Amino acid sequence: MILKLIVAVLLIFPQFALAVNVIDVGGQETGTKTTGQQEILHDVDGDLDIAAAASISERGAFQPLQSAGSTGLKPGAFWSHFALRNVTDEAITLDLEYVDHQLIALEAYTRNLDSGDDYRNIARMSLADPFSERPVVHNRFVVRVTIPARQVKEFLIKFSSHQAGFVFPSMRIWNPDRLREVHTTEVGIIMFLFGGIFLMAIISLVGALATQDRTFLIYAVYALSKIVSWCTILGYTHQFFIKEGFHWNYLSVSGAFGVLAGTVFARAFLQTQKYTPRIDYVLIFMMLNAVFLLFCALFNLTGLAVLSITVALLLYPMMSVAGVVRWRQGSTDAAVFALAWSLLVVGLVVQALRDLGLVEHSIMNYYWPAFASFVEMLGIMAAMGIKVRRLRLQKDQAEHRYTEQLEMSKAELEAQVVARTRELEQAKLAAEHEARTDPLTGVYNRRSFFIEAGKRMNLALRKHQPLSIMMFDIDHFKSVNDTFGHSIGDEALRVFSDSVVQNLRDSDVWGRLGGEEFALVLSEDREGTLQTAQRLRQAIGQIVINTPSGELRMTASIGVAYLQSDHNIELLLNKADDALYKAKNQGRDQIVEYSEAL
């Protein structure tokens, strides 16, 4: 007996069967929900298969991640365990998006919660795979899942960094259409930033040809390296350009090229070899470190490559220090350079804090380094404009035309978005109203009535409150259609429903079940229910409709049933219908309560 009781409890409350991170989803998620980091396993060697990971999870060995979101620089792979509960009555499809780009491979497995079945692989993605094999077109890894109505799916996700890397073992939960919209916006913004940097590179090349100053040429190379490195790091190179044969070391190669180009430009612009020789030694070391990073990338030394990148990021503030020193030596251009480079350093510091797990991962700090790079390039361009004053007018005119065109496009786009949003909102409200109501009478239709009545019944049972239901049937309604026509019959139904609605409270549930049958749910005891029924019967009897064929008067038969603790809405409605049948057989235009004798 005790065993049966335990099994029953587990079936009713499956969340007690296993302490698993269950997330409720409804199919309209916008990325604000994540799979969380409550159950994480560090696979140091990265060689655990799904059977081993599932066994460890079932033993409760997965632990919460002890950071703000990142695992820090760790070798191997990480497993995440969670479950998604579909709280709707329909199957839903969701996209699970990895929150970051710093990942070599991802595998996803699923099964029904507490089913005891083996996990089934639903996704296996790697940077080395052709981009066309990804289930969802996105620069980050995305897993598409389908969850049947009212079911719970359990997931194990493997995040692989191979030798060593920063892992954020969490996935954003999206409605697929919403993810596609946001991804399109992201790509547009990034391409806009890349376009701005590319424009600056072109202007710098023009400046190099006009002034014969090699600093402009180096700046152009540096700007192009920014585009290549960020495009590769953020995954767009794989998505749009190298769709097959992509390798993770392209990330390190592009990063090394960017660091090398930036260091060479800083040395040339600030003339550190001549004016700050001690700082120049540090910049030379940064150049050598960039070359070492290229070496690590070519020989697949992932751990050393990540370490080299970390060293480069730690030394980046030296550029700002060199700029401040040159500014104190009297160089106004160097002050502007120091400010612009400091903006980049702030972005990289935010990235470092995020990667080390000291601050929470967000879309803002995810894109801040790239945005800071854009602002940095803009600031350095301004410094070069100060250095070469005769290019200032040409530069200002180009920026003015660009800004004016952008503002015009922005205003037009905003107006279109506002208009389209208003249209969609109106269409949505109209569709929702049409789905809930009977088109003839404007009251709840059969489906909505059962939903609302079920809510009232559950509330009454939970709070031990009285509840009753009435079934209405217009007497001799077929003869109304035969005598006066269907248009008058429709008008009679509307007038009948309006007459009842005028005598109801907001808390009462009134709906048309079909034809001339209506139903009403009241939160009243027997005495109050019978008083309401009598009042409604009298109101119906006072209805008079003038027609070309004469006056039309109506009466209605009413069946009443009362809620008991073991009832459901269908059973209660059937009892009221039995009472209605009795009222019609006894002569109509009367109220009959349900009893077992019926």
* CATH classification of the domain holding 41: 2.60.40.2380
Residue 9 has pLDDT above 50, yes or no: no
Q: How many helices (DSSP H) and strands (DSSP E) are in the chain?
A: 18, 19
**pLDDT given at position 395:** 55
- The domain boundary, picked from 126, 147, 174, lies at 174
The reply to whether the predicted model has a pTM over 0.75 is no
Q: Are strands 509-514 and 517-522 parallel, antiparallel or unpaired?
A: antiparallel
427 pLDDT band, cuts 50/70/90, is low
5 pLDDT band, cuts 50/70/90, is very low
73 pLDDT band, cuts 50/70/90, is confident
Q: How far apart are CA 371 and CA 354, in angstroms?
A: 16
pLDDT tens digit string along 259-275?
Answer: 899 999 999 989 899 99
For position 312, which CATH number holds?
A: 1.20.1070
Please identify which residue in the block is written with the tokens 């701005």: 196
- Give me the domain span that covers residue 302: 188-403
Domain total of the chain: 3
Can you tell me the mean pLDDT for 1-21?
43
**pLDDT given at position 431:** 60
* Comparison of pLDDT for 36 and 321, the residue scoring more: 321
**Quick check: 140 and 238 in contact, CB under 8 A?**
no
Indicate whether 138 and 218 sit together in one domain: no
**pLDDT given at position 392:** 58
Indicate whether 31 and 158 sit together in one domain: yes
Indicate whether 235 and 380 sit together in one domain: yes
Indicate whether 393 and 510 sit together in one domain: no
Q: Which of 4-13, 345-354, 395-404 has the lowest mean pLDDT?
A: 4-13
Can you tell me the mean pLDDT for 514-519?
90
**pLDDT given at position 225:** 92
**Quick check: 144 and 136 in contact, CB under 8 A?**
yes
Please identify which residue in the block is written with the tokens 């070359």: 291
**Quick check: 166 and 72 in contact, CB under 8 A?**
yes
345 pLDDT band, cuts 50/70/90, is confident
93 pLDDT band, cuts 50/70/90, is very high
**Quick check: 533 and 593 in contact, CB under 8 A?**
no
- CA dihedral angle for residue 137, residue 141, residue 147, residue 151, rounded to 10 degrees: -170
- Is the residue at 9 inside a domain? no
Amino acid at 73: L
What contacts 16, CB < 8 A, 6 or more positions away?
Answer: 9, 10
Indicate whether 219 and 104 sit together in one domain: no
15 pLDDT band, cuts 50/70/90, is very low
pLDDT > 90: percent of the chain: 49
- Is the residue at 2 inside a domain? no
Using only the alpha carbons of the chain, give its radius of gyration.
35
Phi and psi of 132, rounded to 5°?
-65, -15
Indicate whether 129 and 257 sit together in one domain: no
Indicate whether 78 and 51 sit together in one domain: yes
What contacts 33, CB < 8 A, 6 or more positions away?
Answer: 23, 25, 172, 173
380 pLDDT band, cuts 50/70/90, is confident
- Is the residue at 418 inside a domain? no
Indicate whether 147 and 201 sit together in one domain: no
Indicate whether 193 and 157 sit together in one domain: no
Residue 340 has pLDDT above 60, yes or no: yes
Mean pLDDT of all residues belonging to the chain: 86
**pLDDT given at position 118:** 92
**pLDDT given at position 333:** 85
Indicate whether 164 and 200 sit together in one domain: no
Residues linked to residue 517 through DSSP beta bridges, in sequence order: 473, 514
- Is the residue at 577 inside a domain? yes
Instruction: Say how many residues make up the chain.
Output: 598
**pLDDT given at position 62:** 95
End-to-end CA separation in angstroms for the chain? 38
364 pLDDT band, cuts 50/70/90, is confident
- Is the residue at 224 inside a domain? yes
What tokens were used for 172? 């954003």
Can you tell me the mean pLDDT for 500-522?
91
**pLDDT given at position 313:** 80
- The domain boundary, picked from 379, 403, 427, lies at 403
| Helix ranges (DSSP H) in 468-591 | 477-484, 486-501, 526-541, 569-585
**pLDDT given at position 598:** 61
Q: How far apart are CA 438 and CA 448, in angstroms?
A: 9
Can you tell me the mean pLDDT for 205-226?
89
**Quick check: 574 and 517 in contact, CB under 8 A?**
no
390-415 residues labelled b (16+ CB within 10 A) or e (exposed) = ebeeebeeeeeeeeeeeeeeeeeeee
**pLDDT given at position 6:** 36
Indicate whether 553 and 467 sit together in one domain: yes
pLDDT > 70: percent of the chain: 92
What contacts 463, CB < 8 A, 6 or more positions away?
Answer: none
Indicate whether 88 and 113 sit together in one domain: yes
Q: How far apart are CA 178 and CA 201, in angstroms?
A: 35
Phi and psi of 516, rounded to 5°?
-100, 15
- The domain boundary, picked from 403, 432, 465, lies at 403
**Quick check: 152 and 113 in contact, CB under 8 A?**
yes
- Is the residue at 415 inside a domain? no
Q: How far apart are CA 223 and CA 196, in angstroms?
A: 10
**pLDDT given at position 429:** 63
Report how far apart, in Å, the C-alpha atoms of 143 and of each of 43, 134, 146, 175 are: 21, 9, 10, 12
Q: How far apart are CA 457 and CA 95, in angstroms?
A: 36
- Is the residue at 434 inside a domain? no
Among the listed residues 103, 29, 24, 118, the one whose alpha carbon sits nearest the alpha carbon of residue 71: 103
**Quick check: 367 and 388 in contact, CB under 8 A?**
no
**pLDDT given at position 211:** 80
For position 494, which CATH number holds?
A: 3.30.70.270
- Is the residue at 180 inside a domain? no
Phi and psi of 286, rounded to 5°?
-65, -40
**Quick check: 355 and 313 in contact, CB under 8 A?**
no
What tokens were used for 185? 């916006």
Can you tell me the mean pLDDT for 359-379?
85
Which of 35-44, 310-319, 562-571 has maximum average pLDDT? 35-44
* Comparison of pLDDT for 124 and 376, the residue scoring more: 124
